[in-house]
């Protein structure tokens, strides 16, 4: 389900904050499930424009998280076969699902221009953040 306008504004601010505070977060954005369809729609983001505004379930890292319901940390995107490239500068990616009332409603997606940059603390922080976001969705 897509966020309402107020929530979108908050999510946009979260993207800006993460982008400003963490130097190796080089594309920070949200994808949400498109109603009951098995596809994700791009939500608020900060970073380069992407061609991937709609992602079918199962495709790429994001599409895999839409079905696995688990955080996916990719230290090296070039080692992934099922990966959708947004920018040639991207070397690593982390995607964390947003689970509301047991349903996977969307995700935060972060790309990095560095190889293997994401720490256990990043993952914990993002998982906490997605739990908080679920409460306002
Ligand atoms: N790389 C993602 C697609 C989204 S862009 O990174 C913004 C993927 O493989 O699902």
Contact 112, 92 (CB under 8 A): yes
User: Would the pLDDT of 25 be above 80?
Assistant: yes
Listed in sequence order, the residues at least 6 apart from 27 whose beta carbon sits closer than 8 Å to its beta carbon are 45, 46, 47, 48, 50, 86, 87, 90, 109, 110, 111
Pocket probe for ligand 1: among 109, 112, 118, the residue whose CB has the most ligand atoms within 8 Å is: 109
pLDDT for 69: 98
- pLDDT tens for each residue of 4-19: 999 999 999 999 999 9
pLDDT for 2: 82
Strands 27-33 and 39-46: antiparallel
> Ligand 1, closest atom to CA 29?
7
> Ligand 1, closest atom to CA 62?
10
Domain count for the chain: 1
Q: From CA 18, how far away is CA 120, in angstroms rounded?
A: 16
The complex scores an ipTM of: 0.95
Q: From CA 125, how far away is CA 103, in angstroms rounded?
A: 20
Counting residues of the chain whose pLDDT is more than 70, the rounded percentage is: 99
pLDDT for 3: 87
- pLDDT tens for each residue of 67-121: 999 999 999 999 999 999 989 999 999 999 999 999 999 999 999 999 999 999 9
**Phi and psi angles of residue 28, each rounded to the nearest 5 degrees, phi first:** -130, 120
Confidence of residue 34 (pLDDT cuts 50, 70, 90): very high
Tell the residue number behind the tokens 């990095």, with chain if given.
Answer: 112
Question: What residues make up the domain containing 29?
Answer: 5-136
The CATH number of whichever domain residue 38 belongs to comes to 3.30.450.40
């Amino acid at each position: 389900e897509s966020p309402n306008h107020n929530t979108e504004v908050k999510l946009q601010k979260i993207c800006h904050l993460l982008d400003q505070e963490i130097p190796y977060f080089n594309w920070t954005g949200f994808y949400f499930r498109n109603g009951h369809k098995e596809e994700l729609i791009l939500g608020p983001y900060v970073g380069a424009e992407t061609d991937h505004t709609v992602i079918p379930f199962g495709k790429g890292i994001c599409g895999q998280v839409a079905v696995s319901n688990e955080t996916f940390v990719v230290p090296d995107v070039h080692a992934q076969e099922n990966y959708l490239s947004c920018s040639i500068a991207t070397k690593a990616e982390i995607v964390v699902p947003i689970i509301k009332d047991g349903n996977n409603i969307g995700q935060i997606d972060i790309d990095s221009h560095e190889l293997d940059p994401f720490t256990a603390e990043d993952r914990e922080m993002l998982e906490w953040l997605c739990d908080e976001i679920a409460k306002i969705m």
